[in-house]
Amino acid sequence: MQELSELLDEEKLMAVPVLVFANKQDLVNAAPASDIAEGLNLHSIRDRQWQIQACSAYTGEGVRVMDDYSVLPSAFVFPKTAVAESLK
């Protein structure tokens, strides 16, 4: 979560939308996107648009999100470990 905070505080990225991919949703024990959003405190982001997208790189489900969310010109993808740490 520290990486996310640092990116949100970066002056050059002010008002840039954030897209978080909640990968591995094909696994039975995957954390739901809503839990990941809560763990990352995405709901506290007020100075820009944000979106969390449930997906599975394995099945391809949810990966074509940029076709649907073309209003989001930039995306930040956080490694699984960063997300897992934020949920502890």
Q: What is the tens place of the pLDDT at every residue in 10-60?
A: 998 888 888 898 999 999 999 999 999 999 999 999 999 999 999 998 888
Q: Return the domain boundaries, the chain.
A: 2-86
Q: C-alpha angle with apex 75: 71 to 80, nearest 5 degrees?
A: 140
CB atoms within 10 A of CB 22: 23
Q: Which CATH class is domain 2-86?
A: alpha beta
Q: What is the tens place of the pLDDT at every residue in 56-86?
A: 988 888 877 555 554 444 444 444 444 444 4
